[in-house]
Amino acid sequence: MSAKGAPYKHLDNDGAQVHIGVMTDTVKPTEEDYYNARVAVEVLSGGMSSRLFTEVREKRGLCYAIGARYHGLKEAAGITCYAGTTPETGQETLDCIIGEFRRLSEGISEEELQRAKVGLKAALILQSESSRSRAGGIASDYYLYGRVRSLDEIKSKVEETSVDSVMKFLHNNKFIDFTVVTIGPKELTVK
């Protein structure tokens, strides 16, 4: 999942849409800052109040779909983002996405932090109500940690995050190296 090497790849497609994929490295699930990373991603893309949805879709009207997620393995972790847009707004959409990733390190509000915590805990509760999702969580925990975390432990770790802890994480783990893949009628420029 390294952002190093081939930072941009374009696949030609004559359609009326542009698909943008953006990825950047982050801390692994076993690292101390894991929960700070999860909160940061939730601020970035945790629903209709998130920065990506608000800035890229609602304020600027640049895309019809946008979202970012944390993906973690034992050996690597990354944040992936997808946006679907038009050829006319593709470049501005990409610029805005990367700008929002970078803007995170300028600060988050207490309100954004609280919304992120609620979103993460709500997702945890929903996961615990599905046998399939809970089984996946148990298997993943055993693979990553060699043990199964209790739901209370996870909720507690989410609650322990603060604006200061997330900002310290973002200061030490700036989102500056991106791998970008686009599908559409013309190439974009990664700035």
Domain ranges of the chain: 8-107+164-184
Handedness of CA 142, 174, 79, 11 (dihedral sign): negative
Kindly report, residue by residue over 87-138, the tens digit of the pLDDT. Answer: 999 999 999 999 999 999 999 999 999 999 999 999 988 888 889 988 999 9
Q: What is the Cα–Cα distance from 189 to 191, expressed in whole angstroms?
A: 6
CA distances from 113 to 42, 54, 119 (A): 9, 16, 10
In the block, tokens 């501005």 appear at 92
The whole-number pLDDT of residue 3 equals 43
The whole-number pLDDT of residue 176 equals 85
- Mean pLDDT of all residues in the chain? 93
The whole-number pLDDT of residue 130 equals 87
Q: Is 50 exposed, middle or buried (0-12, 13-18, 19+ CB in 10 A)?
A: buried
3-state secondary structure of 170: helix
Residue 22's φ and ψ, nearest 5 degrees, are -125, 135
User: Does an H or E element contain 24, and which?
Assistant: strand 18-25
Whether the pLDDT of residue 1 is over 50: the answer is no
User: Does an H or E element contain 85, and which?
Assistant: strand 77-85
The whole-number pLDDT of residue 128 equals 82
**What is the model's pTM?**
0.91
Q: Evaluate whether 35 touches 158 at the Cβ level (below 8 Å).
A: yes
Q: Evaluate whether 97 touches 87 at the Cβ level (below 8 Å).
A: no
Dig out the tokens for 107 from the structure. Answer: 């600060």
The whole-number pLDDT of residue 141 equals 94
Kindly report, residue by residue over 13-60, the tens digit of the pLDDT. Answer: 998 999 999 999 999 999 999 999 999 999 999 988 899 999 999 999
Under CATH, which number does the domain 8-107+164-184 receive? 3.30.830.10
User: Does an H or E element contain 77, and which?
Assistant: strand 77-85
pLDDT grade, residue 2 (50/70/90)? very low
CA distances from 177 to 2, 129, 130 (A): 9, 37, 36
Query: Distance between terminal CA atoms of the chain?
Result: 20
pLDDT grade, residue 6 (50/70/90)? low
